[in-house]
Amino acid sequence: DAGVTQSPTHLIKTRGQQVTLRCSPKSGHDTVSWYQQALGQGPQFIFQYYEEEERQRGNFPDRFSGHQFPNYSSELNVNALLLGDSALYLCASSSPRVDGNNTGELFFGEGSRLTVL
Amino acid sequence: AQSVTQLGSHVSVSEGALVLLRCNYSSSVPPYLFWYVQYPNQGLQLLLKYTSAATLVKGINGFEAEFKKSETSFHLTKPSAHMSDAAEYFCAVSLVSGGSNYKLTFGKGTLLTVNP
């Protein structure tokens, strides 16, 4: 059973460039969330996708956008990169409904580490 | 809105000693609470979760946590630390509305160091 997979694992960009990060959810999950983890900080919620739509968004500018595909995989796009966008970007998958079998737990990938120079 | 405060950004213990990592939460509705562990250069792994059932929750690797509503706390403990427990630990609270999970709000993390 494959877990959450993310690509690429590491990448370096320069200010002003654009980046796309990719995520495949755990088998059986159809909800994907993205988190940004700056160095020495806890993960911060960017947004969540379900049924190919953005369901909820955290406090991030419009430079951050996403997409979910019919196979539930997802992309995170960041435009006009700033030095402050350097971080570990974590993808997490879950089931959309919380019930006796699913308690809202997220399963995380190992992340994509973005360095902006 | 919900929030999490982890007391102590760095905790150092000797191997075999008690591990206590503190977490206090704020939530306008009954929360779901989680502890995650992150090893260097890896993603987050769930240690344990509280979902309004038993207040004492047992997780993996010998960790447990107790939900105390009166103290709004969810501290993580392990009776005897092992070298392999050295990692960063994150407490998180979840907003669940209408049966759907929207997001986790994380604390800033506590780095656990285990000394031989």
Nearest chain A CA: its distance from B33 CA (Å): 10
B55 backbone φψ class: left, alpha, beta (φ>0; ψ -120 to 50):
alpha
- Of B42, B48, B36, B53, give the one whose Cα is nearest residue B105: B36
DSSP state for residue B81 in the 8-state scheme: -
B101 in reach of chain A (CB within 8 A): yes
Provide the terminal-to-terminal Cα distance of chain A, rounded to the nearest Å.
37
At A3-34, the pLDDT tens digits run: 999 999 999 999 999 999 999 999 888 889 99
Query: Three-class SS of residue A85?
Result: helix
At B11-32, the pLDDT tens digits run: 999 999 999 999 999 887 778 8
Which amino acid, B11?
V
User: Is the distance from CB of A49 to CB of A66 less than 8 angstroms?
Assistant: yes
Mutation target among A24, A33, A98, A107 for the B interface, most CBs of B within 10 A: A98
Residues B85 and B113: their CA atoms lie apart, in Å, by 8
Which amino acid, A43?
P
**Using a CB-CB distance cutoff of 8 angstroms, which residues of chain B are in contact with residue A97?**
99-100
